């Protein structure tokens, strides 16, 4: 069980960030914000993928005008991303956004920062101080000899001091870097320094699969340490993939309740009776869009499958040309192998309608016994050493000692 560090809470629209609020998932639209319909379509798709907060760029007047039309129709709170022009931050607030993101490496004049903070305070709009190792203030870069954790955290606290001068405290902070180790060390230092909610991300992580791996390495490490209140996977991919990845990570860590399919599968071994990769892919394609919040297992053999995946809500194990459907480790049906994926879907729907205990109670007569008999047959054929490791070891000894 992860114990999260208690931070202050800010309100981004109806979404709480920090404090006792669940860790939220963010993404950013890739459309031109001036393209109102295209941007809204992407926002709705992001909501469907599990996103809680969405960021839109506000880099020109046309973007601010687009926000004025997008905000009232958006199903998610909108954060306006401001880079260089502080007046665009004022325009975005006038458009009705729920929050701002300011990069202190780009807007450096204290009087401009304070003007934005005063206006945000008057409107009750939170601001994320979004430090980025790639756009660090040159003075800090020179002071620390590069983008170091200390440099990134000082950039954030320097901006925070300007906010505090005008009594603005509705703040969340990020210190992103594309280097995973730098990112992790920077957030650890920041977490020790402030009690504001933290937005986690590995910036410019890149395309799949490497970008996904880097993001999980950085974000997952910090979340497991109790650090972080909201996250974004910055992938060179459809933003829907960012939202899905964020949701999957939070559910895997037990930080959000499962809302969709969690498909697990054995890595395959000498016992497998089916092509596990192919069956898992077919099951994923069939089940993924059905909004079934179950953990479902695809196991290659009936010898170990139901036992190894007994914690799964539902699973299928192959054996002697048949699929053995099990619920929480209890075999409830045995079907022909070519029907096993469709049977899996039908059983998943039944569990959603009736509940797990009801499905176990309705197990087909003789299913458990048939599965056990098949297991014993396979053990006789394969033995306990399905990968023939003992045979191989004996041959190795014979070769070496000959």
Contact between 219 and 231 (Cβ < 8 Å)? yes
What token pair was written down for 261?
């399919």
Q: Picking from 38-47, 158-167, 379-388, 393-402, which range would have the lowest pLDDT averaged per residue?
A: 379-388
What token pair was written down for 179?
């280097």
Fold of 9-252: TIM Barrel (3.20.20)
| Percentage of residues in the chain having pLDDT higher than 90 | 75
- Segment holding 176, helix H or strand E: strand 171-176
Q: What is the CATH number of domain 262-382?
A: 3.30.413.10
Backbone dihedral region of 321: left (phi > 0), alpha (psi from -120 to 50 degrees) or beta? Answer: left
- Segment holding 265, helix H or strand E: strand 262-265
Model confidence over 8-17: pLDDT tens digits? Answer: 999 999 999 9
pTM recorded for the entire structure: 0.87
| Percentage of residues in the chain having pLDDT higher than 70 | 96
The ranges assigned to domains in the chain are: 9-252, 262-382
Contact between 320 and 374 (Cβ < 8 Å)? yes
Name every residue whose Cβ is closer than 8 Å to that of residue 306 and which is 6 or more positions away in sequence.
299, 315, 317, 324, 326, 329, 330, 331, 371
Place of tokens 């280097």: 179
Model confidence over 122-171: pLDDT tens digits? Answer: 999 999 999 999 999 999 999 999 999 999 999 999 999 999 999 999 99
Mean pLDDT of 180-188: 98
Ranges of H-type helices in 77-224? 86-95, 110-123, 138-144, 149-165, 180-193, 210-215, 221-224
Model confidence over 220-259: pLDDT tens digits? Answer: 999 999 999 999 999 999 999 999 999 999 999 999 998 8
Buried b (16+ CB within 10 A) or exposed e, 238-270: bbbbbbbbbbbbbbeeebbebebbbbebbeeee
Answer yes or no: is pLDDT of 377 > 90: no
Model confidence over 54-65: pLDDT tens digits? Answer: 999 999 999 999
Using pLDDT thresholds of 50, 70 and 90, give the confidence band for residue 314.
very high
């Amino acid at each position: 069980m992860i114990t999260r560090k208690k931070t202050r809470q800010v309100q981004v629209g109806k979404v709480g960030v920090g404090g006792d609020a669940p860790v939220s998932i963010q993404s950013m639209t890739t459309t031109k914000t001036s393209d109102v319909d295209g941007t809204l379509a992407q926002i709705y798709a992001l909501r469907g993928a599990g996103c809680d907060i969405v960021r839109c760029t506000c880099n020109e007047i046309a973007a601010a005008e687009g926000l004025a039309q997008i905000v009232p129709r958006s199903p998610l709170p909108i954060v306006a991303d401001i880079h260089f022009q502080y007046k665009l931050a004022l325009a975005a607030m006038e458009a009705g956004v729920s929050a701002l993101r300011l990069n202190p490496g780009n807007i450096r004049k204290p009087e401009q920062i304070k003007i934005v903070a005063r206006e945000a305070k008057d409107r009750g709009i939170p601001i994320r101080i979004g430090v980025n190792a790639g756009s660090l203030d040159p003075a800090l870069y020179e002071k620390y000899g590069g983008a170091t954790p200390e440099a990134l955290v000082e950039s954030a606290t320097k901006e925070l001091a300007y906010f505090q001068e005008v009594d603005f405290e509705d703040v969340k902070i990020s210190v992103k870097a594309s280097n995973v180790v730098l990112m992790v060390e920077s957030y650890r230092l920041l977490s020790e320094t402030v009690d504001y909610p933290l937005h986690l991300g590995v910036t410019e992580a890149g395309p799949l699969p490497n970008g996904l791996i880097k993001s999980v390495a950085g974000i997952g490490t910090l979340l497991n340490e109790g650090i972080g209140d909201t996250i974004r996977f910055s992938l060179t991919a459809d933003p829907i993939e960012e939202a899905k990845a964020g949701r999957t990570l939070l559910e895997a860590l037990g930080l959000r309740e499962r809302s969709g399919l969690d498909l697990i599968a054995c890595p395959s071994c000498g016992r497998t009776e089916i092509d596990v990769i192919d069956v898992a892919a077919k099951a994923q394609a069939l089940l993924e869009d059905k909004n079934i919040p179950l953990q479902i297992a695809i196991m290659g053999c009936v010898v170990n499958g139901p036992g190894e995946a007994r914690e799964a809500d539902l699973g299928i194990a192959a054996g002697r040309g048949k699929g053995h459907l099990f619920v929480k480790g209890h075999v409830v049906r045995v079907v022909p192998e070519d029907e096993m994926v469709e049977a899996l879907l039908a059983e998943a729907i039944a569990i959603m309608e009736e509940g797990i205990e009801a499905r176990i109670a309705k197990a087909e007569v003789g299913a458990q016994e048939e599965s056990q008999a098949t297991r014993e047959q396979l053990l006789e054929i394969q033995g306990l050493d399905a990968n023939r490791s003992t045979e191989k070891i004996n041959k190795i000894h014979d070769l070496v000692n000959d």
